[in-house]
Amino acid sequence: MSEYEYDLFTIGAGSGGVRASRIAAAHGAKVAIAEEYRLGGTCVIRGCVPKKMLVYASMFADDLSHPENYGWTIGEKSFDWPTLRDFVQKDVTRLEGLYGNTLESHEVDTFSERAVVTGPNSVKLASGREITARNILIATGGRPHMPDFPGAEHCLSSNEIFHVEDKPKCLMVAGGGYIAMEFAAIFNALGSEVTVVNRTDRILRAYDEQIVDRMLHIAMGRGIDFRMHSLIESVEKLDDGRLEVDLGDANKVTVDQVLIAAGRTPNTEGLGLDNAGIELGKKGEIPVDEYNRTSCPSIYAVGDVTDRVALTPVAIREGHAFADTVFGDNPRTVNYDAIPSAVFSQPPLAGVGLTETEARKQYGNVKVYSSDFRPMKNIFNPHAERGLYKMVVEEVSEKILGIHMIGPESPEIMQVAAVAVKAGLTKQAFDDTIALHPSMAEELVLLK
């Protein structure tokens, strides 16, 4: 008999933890997993999945604003936030059930309670039970970072915004990252008056500056108010329930809700990692090697808790690689080059590889090919919004270093374009490909 109750005990049932657990079980390991909240983690329960559903609803709202151009005559229109909110949460519950079914079908024991590390090979559940395991995997993800200022308790994070009773008539969003931009676009399209507050003059720092500038121009044209070089100093709740926000200038701003989207923090607080001799990094992250192993040989970590690349597909790859390495006799690592990403703003933007600025710093001389065009779909829209595609290539070889775009369906197009960057193709490969007409994607093979 084994000296341990389990071969693997996973703490955290998000995308990375569930993938690692089921693959390890498929390799023949005896596996258990603990989750203190809901199966599915941030992405499924209170992140990219429900947020994308809200994006679709807000896109419909935009199309509904000009039905006559499509030949439709529509009568009285009204929007009911609770109906949308509850529909989204119903599907989240459905997905949570699928995650549970996956774990059950792979004979993974699930504990619906908090677990903490008590040693290199042991964890303790909130119920008091102590369990031993040959290996422990930490996959607890991250949580929203909430700044400390007077009245911060009156503000929402991205966890709570999905559950508000009513759609705010006036919403302030603090932050300049993708979460801030996506929620600002969602509620703007749904009819809220939206103000974005950012402490610098740059938003979406990981994306190409020219693409971001185009997004800013379009967002402002749609009515979003951007307050750059601004910082919330305090929030006071008024007698009528509204919030008065002090930005440090003469005029205070009164809104219905304040959403703080100022980054995320690795979820390591109180996990007991010091009991296994694991020291955290400066941001609270768990340092790991290329095989996801911590400084304690029996404990591993994957996903956002390691603060490498905080994307769901990356956590899934890391979890799979971990299980194959430890339990499948197939050592594997994750390659973090050319990872595509997107911001589901309106319109969405997407990118893969080096931005133009990054490429010039790294390679010196580069060539930039671009297409600045009005998507056919936007002909119906009274807003004269233009798309922009960019391809950055090495000057001599014309190897593609990065592709960046903004326009309808950009994330869908980017997924395929990312294959070309990952494969190390040159622009000539795009030039040799006949266009699929009429489409927006054809602009990629017509870049000048």
pLDDT digits (tens, 9 = 90+) for 24-55: 999 999 999 999 999 999 999 999 999 999 99
Domain that holds residue 99: 6-144+265-327
CA pair distance 173, 293, nearest whole angstrom: 37
Based on the domain organization, do 137 and 32 belong to the same domain?
yes
Residues 230-246: b if buried by 16+ CB within 10 A, e if exposed: bbbeebeeeeeebbebb
Is residue 250 scored above 80 in pLDDT?
no
Based on the domain organization, do 169 and 276 belong to the same domain?
no
Mean pLDDT for all residues in the chain: 96
Average pLDDT (5-14) is 98
Domain CATH number, residue 52: 3.50.50.60
Domain CATH number, residue 419: 3.30.390.30
Residue 2 is predicted with a pLDDT of 74
The whole-model pTM stands at 0.95
Residue 201 is predicted with a pLDDT of 92
Based on the domain organization, do 138 and 45 belong to the same domain?
yes
Based on the domain organization, do 380 and 420 belong to the same domain?
yes
Residue 307 is predicted with a pLDDT of 86
Q: Dig out the tokens for 39 from the structure.
A: 């199966």
Q: Closest by alpha carbon to 183, among 80, 79, 264, 259?
A: 259
| Beta carbons of 198 and 230 less than 8 angstroms apart | yes
Is residue 1 scored above 90 in pLDDT?
no
- Domain boundary residue among 289, 304, 327? 327
Residue 389 is predicted with a pLDDT of 98
| Beta carbons of 384 and 222 less than 8 angstroms apart | no
Is residue 252 scored above 80 in pLDDT?
yes
Residue 51 is predicted with a pLDDT of 97
| Beta carbons of 29 and 155 less than 8 angstroms apart | no
- Domain boundary residue among 244, 262, 280? 262
Residues 139-171: b if buried by 16+ CB within 10 A, e if exposed: bbbbbbeeeeeebeebbbbbeebbebeebbebb
CA pair distance 256, 343, nearest whole angstrom: 25
Percent share of the chain, pLDDT over 70 = 100
- Domain boundary residue among 262, 294, 316? 262
334 occurs within a structural domain: no
Q: pLDDT tens, 355-392?
A: 999 999 999 999 999 999 999 989 998 877 999 999 99
Based on the domain organization, do 165 and 70 belong to the same domain?
no
Based on the domain organization, do 66 and 107 belong to the same domain?
yes
Residue 72 is predicted with a pLDDT of 92
Q: pLDDT tens, 287-300?
A: 999 999 999 999 99
In a 3-state reduction of DSSP, which class is residue 445? Answer: helix
Is residue 162 scored above 80 in pLDDT?
yes
335 occurs within a structural domain: no
Alpha-carbon torsion, ordered 236, 154, 284, 335, to 10 deg: -110
416 occurs within a structural domain: yes
In a 3-state reduction of DSSP, which class is residue 430? Answer: helix
Average pLDDT (66-71) is 91
233 occurs within a structural domain: yes
137 occurs within a structural domain: yes
336 occurs within a structural domain: no
Based on the domain organization, do 348 and 322 belong to the same domain?
no
437 is catalytic: yes
Domain total in the chain: 3
In a 3-state reduction of DSSP, which class is residue 70? Answer: helix
Based on the domain organization, do 420 and 295 belong to the same domain?
no
Q: pLDDT tens, 118-154?
A: 999 999 999 999 999 999 999 999 999 999 999 999 9
Based on the domain organization, do 130 and 168 belong to the same domain?
no
Based on the domain organization, do 257 and 201 belong to the same domain?
yes
Based on the domain organization, do 109 and 198 belong to the same domain?
no
Q: What is the 3-state composition of the chain as percent helix, strand, coil, each rounded to the nearest 5? A: 35, 25, 40
130 occurs within a structural domain: yes
Based on the domain organization, do 236 and 126 belong to the same domain?
no
Residue 65 is predicted with a pLDDT of 87
Average pLDDT (313-317) is 97
Cα–Cα distance list, 316 to 15, 18, 131, 279, 313 (Å): 6, 8, 25, 24, 5
Average pLDDT (203-207) is 96
DSSP class per residue in 104-173:
HHTT-EEE-S-EEEEETTEEEETTS-EEEEEEEEE---EEE-----TTGGGSB-TTTGGG-SS--SEEEE
Beta pairing, strands 225-227 & 234-237: unpaired
333 occurs within a structural domain: no
Neighbours of 255 (CB within 10 A): 21
